[in-house]
Structure 1
Amino acid sequence: MTVKLLALYRKPQDVDAFLAHYNDVHMPLIAKVPGLQKAVVNRVDKTLMGDNPYFLIAELHFADQAAFDAGMASPENRAAGKDLMSFARDLVTLIAVGEQSA
């Protein structure tokens, strides 16, 4: 079963500065995490029901729980986490999910 880390970001005050750091600094760090199969960044345009608390939703895909655990424990992920806390500590919620087919 594919395991994903989802990063749910609320809208920052300075969108341009956030996106510049996110794309130029943070995502290159994420790309180095061992076992990462792909990273998908989704920009939230609107909600179909209720209020929209999110600006971006990032998905980090790993083949299975073992790959996820190894990636999360890696020095590369610790570096990405340290960076995340430097620019988005108050904006991000991180959750781990297992992908299931319908």
Structure 2
Amino acid sequence: MTIKLVALYKRPSVEVAFLTHYEQVHLPLMQKVPHLEKVEVFRDVSSPFGEAPYFLVAEMHFADRARFDAAMASPENRAAGKDLMTFAKDLVTLLVLASE
């Protein structure tokens, strides 16, 4: 069973500042999280039914639940989570998805 941590970001009031922080600070912090196999970031988010509720979607891939749990408990993930709350607390929704 693979695990994805998905971050759904609403449109920020200042897109340039958000993207600069996301790309230069937050993403490098996330990439240090142990057991993270891949990060995919989607910026051109659209919906077939009008305006999409999200501005940016990020998917973080983990091989299995044990590695995901270890990653979430790591100091590197705590640092990334603390940073997330400084710039996107009211913008982000996090989901954990497990494939069977």
Indicate the SS of the match to 1:47: coil
Percent of residue pairs identical? 60
Is 1:77 the counterpart of 2:72? The answer is: no
1:7-42, CA deviations, whole angstroms, 9 ceiling, x for partnerless residues? Answer: 000000000000000000000000000000000001
Alignment TM-score, normalising by the size of structure 2: 0.95
Indicate the SS of the match to 1:11: coil
Kindly report structure 1 stretches of 4+ aligned residues shifted beyond 2 Å. Answer: none
**What's the CA shift for 1:50?**
4.5
Indicate the SS of the match to 1:36: coil
Following superposition of structure 1 onto structure 2, how do residues 82-97 of structure 1 map, counting pairs within 5 Å? 82-97=82-97
Separation of aligned partners in 2, 1:48 and 1:87: 29
Report the counterpart of residue 34 of structure 2 in structure 1.
Answer: 34
**What's the CA shift for 1:51?**
4.1
**What's the CA shift for 1:52?**
1.4
Residue correspondences, number: 100
Counterpart AA for 1:71: A
**What's the CA shift for 1:45?**
3.4
Alignment TM-score, normalising by the size of structure 1: 0.93
Indicate the SS of the match to 1:79: helix
Following superposition of structure 1 onto structure 2, how do residues 52-67 of structure 1 map, counting pairs within 5 Å? 52-67=52-67
